[in-house]
Amino acid sequence: MRAALAAAAQTLPASLPWPWRRPAALEAVIELARERKLQTLDLTSRPSRESAIWLYASVGFQRRDSILMRYSGPLA
């Protein structure tokens, strides 16, 4: 998915401001998910990234109550 998002973002002019570039990239990823018949598409974002959260909501993502956990101890 990251590659699809990056590819979609590259098709838009870099001179466009942030809010105008990203909705199209997110919509491209949503369309790719539809083509692949995915059931869901999840995003994570820090609560402090209010503009990103607003952006995700503007294209249809809904906030979920969730706890994200990460293990960063030794893996080898």
Q: pTM for the whole thing?
A: 0.57
**pLDDT for position 68:** 82
Size of the chain, expressed as the number of residues it contains: 76
Residues 27 and 41: beta-carbon distance below 8 Å? no
Residue spans of the domains in the chain: they are 2-58
pLDDT per residue over 41-62, tens digit each?
Answer: 988 888 888 888 888 888 889 9
Which residues lie closer than 8 Å to 1 by C-beta, 6 or more apart? 29, 32, 33, 41
pLDDT per residue over 20-41, tens digit each?
Answer: 556 788 888 889 999 999 999 9
Nearest 5°: phi and psi at 9? -65, -30
